[in-house]
Chain A
Amino acid sequence: MAKTSSAPKQGGAKKSLNDTSLLMLITVVVFVVMYLGAMLILKGGFLKPQAFLNLFNDNASLIILSCGMSLVMITGGIDISVGGVTALVCMCCAVYLDKMGGNVAVSALLALAIGLGFGLVQGFLVAYLEIQPFIVTLAGMFFAKGMTTIVNSEPFNVAHEGFKALSGTRVNVPGMGTVNKLGEYVNAYVEIGVVVALVVVILMFCMLRWTKFGRSFYAVGGNSQSALMLGINVKRTKFMSHLLCGLLAGVGGFVYFLHVASCAPSHASGAEMNAIASSIIGGTLLTGGVGNIVGTMFGVLSLSTIKNIVSSAGLGEAWWTGITTAAMLCLFLVIQSVVMSVRKKKQLGVK
């Protein structure tokens, strides 16, 4: 829990909260309250550190996808092809490893290449041909999903030894293990994908916050005309955001592949919507200009926590997940909308 408590401090340390930090702060607080609530009321698995780590284990790929999504959303665009790309990456890598006897490193490169390819084409169409990102990436999603079944329509589990070893690799987290009911000490662990996800989050966070390149994303999303006047290459920035998002979709796809170690056309279906929802809950505005990668990560964790709470409370029916996720999304959107309009009013008042 040490990680969660440090984040709000970081936001509070700044003298005046800007929009980005405020929306993120709300998300972090809600997440912490929700998790503590679950620990106090539902107890059970929530009391174990492993349950907290499992949030990361289950969502490593979603965190990466959501990071890419946030980048695009900050520039005012959207990318709904990430779920499709994930499925395609799984399928291609699985077929390559099992049916063509490839090796793991090449399969990882293959995943990156697929993601990069999607990013390139989509970025070009959006930025230089000025086609709406929604339509371009929708076509991208259709293409990826279709290609997945063209590559191979049957789901199967990967049997490649080297890959299985990598996929099963676990990083033990010291000091968080527990004793199970047989009296054995069980180490707490995270999967290798989690490490990748955290690296991605840190890299993207630093890029957005401290590099000129990263800050141009906000400028373009906030107001592309004034960004243009500031001498920012709007088209290039938009292109780069899609390129990065595509690349991260490739990375996320491979992490997903590591997690499930199988392929199926139905893999990661709806992941794009989960990524969008996570970004929004994490405080990214779809209009662009506002957003924070750490917030996005907490968006993912919050969504997953609410799902865990629902099932631990004995509401196993499939519809509960959908309804609670939507309710939470609705709540956050309304909070954001109200907060933003209050701020706007205040700002106008000051002027």
Chain B
Amino acid sequence: MKKLKWKLLLSFLLVLSLAGCHGQGERPRDERLYEDDVTSEREDYIVVGFAQIGSESDYRIANSASFRETFCAENGYYLLFEDGQQKQENQIKAMRNFILQEVDYIVLDPVVETGWDEVLQEAKAAGIPVILSDRSVTVEDEDLYTCWVGSDFEEEGKKAGLWLENYLEKTGRDEDEIRLVTLQGTPGSSAQIGRTAGFSQILGRHPNWQMLECASGDFTQSKGQEVMARFLKSYHDIDVVISENDNMTFGAIEAIEQSGRTCGPKGDIIVISFDAVSEAAFTYMKEGRLHADMECNPFLAPKVDEIIRKLERGETVEKIQYVEEQCFDAFMDLDAVMEERKY
């Protein structure tokens, strides 16, 4: 029996230690909500359900942070945050959960564009306006969602193309044979489709630009590194790398440097990236390892907040709303830019 007691004690400690893990991880904000009677508190607030894609990149993390900051109790909101972990299935489940809980607004950042008709119909039937953020959906009936807020990915892709055109002209290589590769994002995502389409428009104007291969790096650093390493083995004369987000770019630069080649204004491969969200991207540009980065503004929450306020007052809102975005390159005064930005 002695041994049994010891076992029981140990099991108790094990469970306790796991419970301890919980306690520490909880943020003070959550704790307060956890203790109070959630429902009674929620009645005075505008309840917003946010179905986020996941936390795969710096963009997404900054984007989530933006929503958490904006939709806080001080601003009169109660935010239900669901991380879909990259799966549409999870996001649909989250949406159904929001509908069931009768939230006032749903904000959806869809992981893929198709397959949303049914759940959006359900939201509409329940009288809950759905605001799309960042990525978009293709549905038969556009009235299923209230509006879309995000970046103009096609414009970003175009900007990248124009920047390259301009840069090659400046360096006197505009007549040369230019060999490009593209690290694409997750196939089917709005960012991948838009950026690829935008860049292709410029690509089509230059017969001397030769696209060697486009492959998906899934927007992740490790995959980006893997694919880039493969590119470098297959093609020995890559001039330009277009990488459809920063995380893949970091991986790609790593792969380029590991292979013994160099990139950036001081090196032999031109690297163009998208997002420009993290400080790291700017550091890479300052160090001369990255040529240019097209901004993709992750701070969408203030715009969404603005829309919800309008809707609360019964006003109508525009269907498509773009956020402002810039283009950064290694030749700018990046210190000043970083100073200006909050992150």
Contacts and interface: CB of A to CB of B under 8 A. Distances in A.
- The answer to A–B direct touch (Cβ < 8 A) is yes
A314 B126 contact: no
A317 B126 CA distance: 26
Interface residues of B, number: 50
B22 interface: yes
Given A182-B126, A316-B83, A342-B4, A330 B38 contact: no
B310 interface: no
A211 interface: no
Given A182-B127, A318-B55, A260 B30 contact: no
B336 interface: no
A154 to B, nearest CB: 5
A151 interface: no
Interface in B234-257: none
Contact of A341 (B7, B101, B125): B7
Nearest to B82: A316
B81 A316 contact: yes
B80 A311 contact: yes
Given A156-B114, A180-B127, A311 B97 contact: yes
B81 A330 contact: no
A314 B127 contact: no
Interface string A130-158: 00000000000000000000000011110
Contact of A313 (B34, B52, B118, B127): B34
A311 B82 contact: yes
Interface in B40-97: 42, 50, 52, 54-55, 79-83, 85-89, 92-94, 96-97
Contacts of B93: 58
Contact of B85 (A42, A50, A186, A318): A318
Given A180-B127, A314-B80, A266 B86 contact: yes
Interface string B81-123: 1110111110011101100111000000000101100100000
A338 B79 CA distance: 41
A168 to B, nearest CB: 6
A266 B188 CA distance: 14
Interface stretch (A17-25, A111-119, A319-327): A319-327
A331 interface: yes
B15 A330 contact: yes
Contacts of A184: 125
B212 interface: no
B337 interface: no
B100 A54 contact: yes
A330 B115 contact: no
Contacts of A102: none
Interface in B1-39: 1, 4, 7-8, 11, 14-15, 18-19, 21-22, 25-26, 30, 33-34, 38-39
B267 interface: no
Given A155-B188, A180-B102, A314-B30, A327 B15 contact: yes
Contacts of B50: 316
Contacts of A324: 22
B187 A338 contact: no
Given A54-B100, A262-B88, A341-B7, A314 B81 contact: yes
B100 A51 contact: yes
Given A316-B82, A316-B83, A154 B97 contact: no
B227 to A, nearest CB: 13
A319 B25 contact: yes
Contacts of A326: 18
Contacts of A308: 97
Nearest to A268: B89
A317 B83 contact: yes
A19 B127 CA distance: 50
Given A156-B114, A338-B11, A314 B100 contact: no
A323 B25 contact: yes
Contact of B188 (A156, A181, A311, A323): A156
A334 interface: yes
Contact of B112 (A155, A313, A323): A155
Given A44-B39, A308-B97, A341-B4, A323 B21 contact: yes
A43 interface: yes
A316 B80 contact: yes
Contacts of B18: 323, 326-327, 330
Contacts of A330: 14-15, 18
Contacts of B79: 314
Interface in B190-241: none
A12 interface: no
Given A181-B127, A327-B15, A311 B114 contact: no
A44 B125 CA distance: 19
Contacts of B82: 311, 316
- Top 6 closest pairs, chain A to chain B, by CB: A316-B81, A45-B100, A157-B115, A318-B83, A334-B11, A45-B101
26 contacts: A43-B38, A44-B101, A45-B100, A154-B188, A156-B188, A157-B114, A168-B118, A180-B102, A181-B102, A186-B125, A260-B92, A260-B115, A261-B115, A262-B88, A262-B115, A266-B87, A313-B30, A314-B33, A314-B38, A315-B26, A317-B81, A319-B25, A323-B22, A327-B18, A337-B11, A338-B7
Given A260-B88, A260-B115, A312-B80, 16 more contacts: A45-B97, A155-B112, A184-B125, A186-B126, A261-B115, A266-B86, A266-B87, A308-B97, A311-B80, A311-B97, A318-B83, A320-B25, A324-B22, A337-B7, A338-B7, A345-B1
